[in-house]
Each structure stands twice: as structure tokens, then as C-alpha cells.
């Protein structure tokens, strides 16, 4: 069976949902995440309304992050802010302007006066080390 062209696959919402489900199912059925999450946490969103958190090889439903919103930029921002408020340093690897604007707004409004952990937005491109650094109670720096 031939795989459809990227343009065809990614312009159809049903195709994107099916592809995301296949990727997540493959990841959850493998041993990869057990080793990869010994020192890190992986959260998979978009399979259903309730994201799955994997840490130390254990999977946990994150009902507190339940969302019916389908846009990745909203989900990325929601998860990053929550983790920062929980005191965990966050690195968002993304080049989308929408995510940048949402992170600046929500970090400033929700994390400014709290004990939130620092957050870095980094580009997936190797020649750009850091897009933005968020630190509570300090001026933000753009690089």
C-alpha cells in the first residue's frame, strides 16, 4: 500500500488524528519509553481528551489536563505552564509564533508572582540555541 503524500495526509483532520494515534500507540507498545523516562517525563496529548504522562516507565492518565481543544499550540502552552507552576523547569522546542505569544501571555499572567520554575522556548533548528527565556520575578530576555 502506498503512503499518501504529506500534503494530503496533513491537510485532513481525520488523517492527522489517525496518524497521531498510530504514533502514540506504537510508542506506548514499545520498551523505548521505559528507558527514556527514567530521568525525564513524557506527556502524550491528542490521542483522546485525557493526556497520558509517562515517568519512570509508568503511565498515568492526566485528567487534570483534559482538553477537547485540538490545536497543538494551546495544548503545548497548557502543559508547559502547568509544569512550570508545579516547579519543574520546562523547555518548549518549537518555532511557532502562536506558541511564543501564548507562552509570554500565560507565563506573565499566571507565573509572574508565583514560585514557578524557569521556562525556555528553544528552536528545533541547531543554529538557534534559545528563542526566549522565562523566569519569574525577573525581566524576560529575548535572544
Domain boundaries, the chain: 1-70, 72-143
pLDDT band of 115, cuts 50, 70, 90: confident
pLDDT at 30: 74
CB-based burial, 27-43: b 16+ in 10 Å, e otherwise: eeeeeebeeebeeeeeb
What is the pTM for the complete model shown?
0.54
Question: Which one, of 130, 134, 124, lies nearest residue 143 by Cα?
Answer: 130
Amino acid at each position: 500500500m502506498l503512503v499518501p503524500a504529506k500534503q494530503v495526509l496533513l491537510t485532513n483532520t481525520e488523517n492527522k488524528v489517525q496518524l497521531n494515534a498510530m504514533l502514540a500507540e506504537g510508542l506506548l507498545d514499545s520498551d523505548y519509553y521505559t528507558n527514556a523516562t527514567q530521568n525525564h517525563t513524557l506527556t502524550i496529548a491528542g490521542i483522546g481528551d485525557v493526556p497520558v504522562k509517562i515517568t519512570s516507565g509508568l503511565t498515568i492518565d492526566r485528567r487534570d489536563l483534559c482538553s477537547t481543544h485540538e490545536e497543538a499550540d494551546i495544548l503545548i502552552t497548557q502543559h508547559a505552564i502547568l509544569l512550570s507552576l508545579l516547579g519543574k523547569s520546562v523547555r518548549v522546542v518549537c518555532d511557532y509564533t502562536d506558541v511564543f505569544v501564548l507562552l509570554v501571555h500565560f507565563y506573565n499572567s499566571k507565573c509572574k508572582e508565583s514560585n514557578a520554575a524557569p521556562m525556555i522556548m528553544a528552536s528545533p533548528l541547531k543554529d538557534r540555541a534559545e528563542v526566549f527565556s522565562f523566569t519569574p520575578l525577573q525581566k524576560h530576555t529575548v535572544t
